[in-house]
Structure 1
Amino acid sequence: MIPYGRQEITQHDVDAVVEVLQSDFLTQGPKVPLFEQTVANHVGVRFGVAVNSATSALHIACAALGLTEGDWLWTSPITFVASANCGLYCGAQIDFVDIDPATYNLCPLALERKLKQAEGEGRLPKVVVAVHLCGQSCDMEAIHRLAQRYQFHIIEDASHAIGGKYQSEFVGCGRYSDITVFSFHPVKIVTTGEGGMAVTNDPELAASMELLRSHGITRDPERMTHPPDGPWYYQQVNLGFNYRMTELQAALGVSQMARLDDFVARRHELAQRYERLLADLPITLPCQNPDTYSGFHLYVIRLRLKELNNSHRQVFESLRDQGIGVNLHYIPVHTQPYYAAMGFSPEDFPEAMRYYNEAIGLPMFHGLTIEQQDTVVGALKQALAQ
């Protein structure tokens, strides 16, 4: 089986982790701050807060922005459930904004229409989570312009997009958002096994997220409500969580970050080759906005079903039967039973449903060989011809 995504671990990565295993610190040592600074420096942002998953990063980002009961969080329906769940963790209500039919990201035009309506109904969002699907940035300038007008905060869910760019700057630089979140799951561009990071240019948000990831506890006298009793002293000044990243994970992340540019460049080579090899097939290839340089975490095609004899499911199953580990990112969140019980219906977001009924993610990872890619293309041609 050729998987849709896969980590690449070198001997240098292994050595970095072994070095930590032989050190004095397995957690709360020097590697986590080093990893935070490495990522922050690379993307051009001031602060990084490493945690045990991107879901945790989304949660503490929402909490740091003051999202709470009675507030609204809006996001894309085409994302992993965590992009919406993070709002529920804070007691907020959730709504969705339909996707752009070309990029599959949250559509700024749909967002503007929904904001105008919500303003009249008194239910404007406090936070909008803009998801950079497949690694391509949303139109952040347009979303930021709406944020200034309607006074909402922006979290970039860049779980797919580390190493990508928007308007020639790295995703995560913070020009158009309050906080950006990265994921380091094994199928992502850079891995720490499991792990995530929230980055920001705002020192208060960074300090708040640092507290929230570790029980709300501080040893900093300046952040305590009264002077410490002694050198052993700590205070819980907020209700936080145990979301810390380990030293082992951080060491792996630092090692992986040294190859980030190479990882993304190779994904672009593979994407360009897919584009050449698949150009004449009855499918829609990924559209790349000229303002973006995608991280290409995923390579998603859409079937032109009116030109095919096979259904979406038949093509998908044929590829799986031929040993191609295709996947579908994602089932629209609003159709999940938990969200459907809130009153959402599939027809609420028609572009998202059209995408779901046509999309297939082909294998895309740094170690994918030319021979494997040729096998994928051959299997797709066979699946489409049946």
Structure 2
Amino acid sequence: MKAIPYGRQSIEKTDIDAVIETLQADFLTQGPKVKEFEEKFASYVGSKYAVAVSNATAGLHISVLALGLEPGDRVITTPITFAASANCIRYGGGEVWFADIDPNTYLLSIEHTKRLIESKPKGFFKGIIPVDFGGLPVNLQEFRDLANEHDLWVIEDACHAPGGYFVDSQNIKQNCGNGNFADVGIFSFHPVKHIACGEGGMITTNNKKIYDKLLSLRTHGITKENMSENHGGWFYEMKELGFNYRLTDIQSALGITQLAKNNVGVIRRNEIATKYKNAFEGKVKYQSLPPNTYNAHHLFVIEVNNRKGLYDYLRNENIYAQIHYIPVHTLPYYREIGYQDVDLSNAENYYAHCISLPMYPTLSDEEQVFVIEKVLSFIE
């Protein structure tokens, strides 16, 4: 069997043609394709606004700044995520506080978050960054209610979940990143994600003030809004210290064609997940699916007792499973700044057993059967 990675991009002729067309056009960056991608992405998730950025980490960074994060502010997030979900708080001079995960969904636990918030005086925390881990949507209505009670903002890290949704208490489908409960949503266009642009990210929001702030921070804090007849077309003002976090037209052209295929890709991901579940039911623990929730399945994670043994065994069979993730609070940087003694037993227990199996739309039935057979032969 050829090498089977845990995830990979799918680039077709339509994607290649779109990039070539842009390469032959007038703009390679700061042109019309960026705006087109933003508008189509906002329409897809159901948000009012979308801001394309160079990567999701950049999106997280300027989002915490747009929401008013100041040095010393405290923000809660999950320890089971890529480091960027926490690092963005540090970029703004804030303090990261971790709440434990639910041991079955692997998502930030609303109960642990509530307990942490209520253990401190009101005003102690500034915001919450829940993560749609593996593609499974967080119930943001619950987090919004908690945030409103304590005057907190909410950033939805939806990097794993374009196409995912949950159904709220009014029986309304809430797409990941639609901005109805979170102040902003963040998406990633890394090659192993649903929508591959090489690198890239998108920020979504329904708040015009936040949107305008994001546009400014994305491009050096520069604006032309005060240009008048007294100035030529060259005129601009830098009103604040921003960054160069722009996405190119080349990447945006690819993003547009990739976005158009995402619904089909998510359906295929769920077909693969169903086959895994049918094969592993009663034998292997996997991420649970809450009622009225649609998992976009960036990952399919299982838990096993001998994780390192299975990891090595699969690699010997040309199956390149991966581990998602080392708990952020255990990474050397966070240990050294005081996180070595936190009690996050669910996260640490999860990490001791987790392994992500191949999950991507072009995974063939034959390849998946091979993966399943090898996993079962090892654990049995």
- Cα–Cα, structure 1 residues 228 and 356, in superposed 2: closer, same or farther, change >3 Å? farther
| 1:230 shift after superposition | 2.7
RMSD: 1.4
Match of 2:250 in 1: 248
The 5-angstrom pairing of residues 222-237 of structure 1 reads 229-237=231-239
Name the SS for the 1:264 alignment partner: helix
Name the SS for the 1:348 alignment partner: coil
| 1:140 shift after superposition | 1.0
Match of 2:60 in 1: 58
Q: Distance in 2 between matches of 1:169 and 1:117?
A: 30
Equivalent AA in structure 1 for residue 36 of structure 2: L
Match of 2:366 in 1: 371
Match of 1:212 in 2: 217
- Cα–Cα, structure 1 residues 227 and 237, in superposed 2: closer, same or farther, change >3 Å? farther
TM-score w.r.t. the length of structure 1 is 0.94
Match of 1:291 in 2: 292
Equivalent AA in structure 1 for residue 307 of structure 2: H
The 5-angstrom pairing of residues 109-120 of structure 1 reads 109-119=111-121
Q: Cα deviation per residue 1:226-253 (whole Å; 9 max; x = unaligned)?
A: 9963321000011100100000000000
Match of 2:170 in 1: none
1:105 aligns with 2:110: no
Higher mean Cα deviation, 63-72 or 272-281? 272-281
| 1:280 shift after superposition | 4.2
Equivalent AA in structure 2 for residue 212 of structure 1: L
Equivalent pair of 1:228/1:234 in contact (CA under 8 Å): no
The 5-angstrom pairing of residues 253-268 of structure 1 reads 253-268=255-270
Equivalent AA in structure 1 for residue 330 of structure 2: T
TM-score w.r.t. the length of structure 2 is 0.96
The 5-angstrom pairing of residues 57-96 of structure 1 reads 57-96=59-98
Which structure 2 residue ranges, 5 or more long, are not aligned?
A: 168-172
Name the SS for the 1:343 alignment partner: helix
Q: Cα deviation per residue 1:21-78 (whole Å; 9 max; x = unaligned)?
A: 0001000000000000011001111000000100000001001001010211210000
Match of 2:278 in 1: 276
Match of 1:337 in 2: 332
Equivalent AA in structure 1 for residue 176 of structure 2: V
Name the SS for the 2:34 alignment partner: helix
Match of 1:308 in 2: none
Equivalent AA in structure 2 for residue 8 of structure 1: S
Equivalent pair of 1:71/1:126 in contact (CA under 8 Å): yes
Which structure 1 residue ranges, 5 or more long, are not aligned?
A: 306-310
Q: Cα deviation per residue 1:331-359 (whole Å; 9 max; x = unaligned)?
A: 00000000001111265200000100011
Equivalent pair of 2:123/2:150 in contact (CA under 8 Å): no
Name the SS for the 2:296 alignment partner: coil
Q: Distance in 1 between matches of 2:176 and 2:255?
A: 18
Q: Cα deviation per residue 1:53-112 (whole Å; 9 max; x = unaligned)?
A: 000000010010010102112100000000000011111111111001111100000011
Aligned length: 373
Identical positions, percent: 42
Match of 1:301 in 2: 302
| 1:383 shift after superposition | 2.1
Name the SS for the 1:137 alignment partner: coil
Q: Distance in 1 between matches of 2:28 and 2:249?
A: 5
Higher mean Cα deviation, 243-252 or 311-320? 311-320
